[in-house]
Amino acid sequence: MAGLDFEKPIAELEKKIQELRHFVSDKKIDLSSEVKRLEDKLEHLKKDTYTNLSAWQRVQLARHPQRPYTLDYINLFITDFIEIHGDRHFADDKAIVCGLGKLDKHKIAVIGHQKGRDTKENLQRNFGCAHPEGYRKALRVMQLAEEFNLPVVIFIDTPGAYPGIGAEERGQSQAIAFNLREMASLATPILSIVIGEGGSGGALGVGVADRVCILENSYYSVISPEGCAAILWKDGSKAPQAAEVLKLTGADLLALKIIDEVIPEPLGGAHRDVQKTAQNLKEVIVRNLKELKAIDKEELLKLRYKKFRSMGVVA
C-alpha cells in the first residue's frame, strides 16, 4: 500500500512485524511476546499519528491514490445503477459520472466526480477535473430527478474544474454559474458529500445542496493549498502553511457552518478500510434522505436559500 511521508514510521514498523512473522514461521521459534509488543507499539503509533493530523496531512490523505472514488461507492451500496451519458450539446465528460439507482428503498439520482486509477484512466477521466459538458450533464440529470421526484446524491472529489482553453471556449464559468443558480431552486432534496478533494468552483458547481457533508480526511476549499501558497508567498513549498490558513478541514468547515456533518473514517483513512467507510457513508446518506424527504418542497427551498445566504455572516 502506497504510503505518505508522515506514514513512513508506521510503514517501517508494519514491515518489521511482517518480517518477524515470516521468520517465526520459517524457524518455528516462539516470539509471540515480541510480535505482540510490536503490534501494541504499532497501534499506539497509528492512534497518535492519525488523531493529530495537520490540515496538510489531511489534504494528502484526500489525494491518496488508493482512496475510494465515486464508482467504488456506487458499486458497494447503490443497486440497479444505470449510467446516463452526455450533455446533449457537445460530449460525454467522463470526469463526472451520472445515473439513476437505488439505495435500499430510496430511488435516487447519483452524480459524482471520478478520477482514474492509472495514467490511462486518469487521462480519460481528466484527473477528475470536469469540462463544461460535465456540469451540463450533471444538471441534466438533476432536472430529470426533479421531474420524477427523485432525491439527488452527489459525491464531490475534484482538484477543480478543468482550466484549459477548450473548456473556457465552451463556457466553463457560465456552466458552473448556471448550475449554482439552478441547484438553488431545484425542487427535490439534494445531498452533497465531499469524499476526497473539494476544489474551488469545480466542487461548488455540484455543491449547492440541502445538506453538505464531508468525509473526515477530505477537504473543501476555494483554492488548493499550493495555489494559495503561490499567490500569497510566491512559494509552492508553503502549501502546508496555506492549508492551515485556508480552514479547509471538516472540523474547520463545521465550525464555520459551511458544512453540516463530518463523516468518520477508519483509522488511517478511507483507503485502509473501504467497506467500513462505505458503511459510514451509506448510513449518513440514508438518514439525511429520510429527513429531507419529510420536508415540504416549499419549505425545503426556503431552508436551502437561508442556509447559503447565512454563510459568511459575522454576528
pLDDT score at 269: 92
pLDDT tens sequence across 38-61 = 888 888 888 888 888 999 999 999
The three-state secondary structure class of 220 is: strand
Is the pLDDT at 87 greater than 60? The verdict is: yes
pLDDT greater at residue 162 or residue 24: 162
pLDDT score at 39: 82
pLDDT tens sequence across 140-151 = 999 999 999 999
Give me the mean pLDDT over the 226-248 stretch.
Answer: 93
pLDDT tens sequence across 58-83 = 999 999 999 999 999 999 999 999 99
Is the pLDDT at 211 greater than 90? The verdict is: yes
Give the torsion through C-alpha atoms of 124, 191, 133, 127, to 10 deg.
Answer: -20
For 222, the grid coordinates are: 476555494
For 159, the grid coordinates are: 482538484
pLDDT tens sequence across 173-185 = 999 999 999 999 9
For 131, the grid coordinates are: 469540462
- Banded model confidence at residue 24, pLDDT cuts 50, 70, 90: low
Percent of the chain whose pLDDT exceeds 70: 96
Is the pLDDT at 1 greater than 60? The verdict is: no
- Banded model confidence at residue 3, pLDDT cuts 50, 70, 90: confident
For 205, the grid coordinates are: 458547481
Length of the chain: 315
Q: Which candidate, 152, 223, 161, places its Cα nearest to that of 193?
A: 152
- pTM, entire model: 0.91
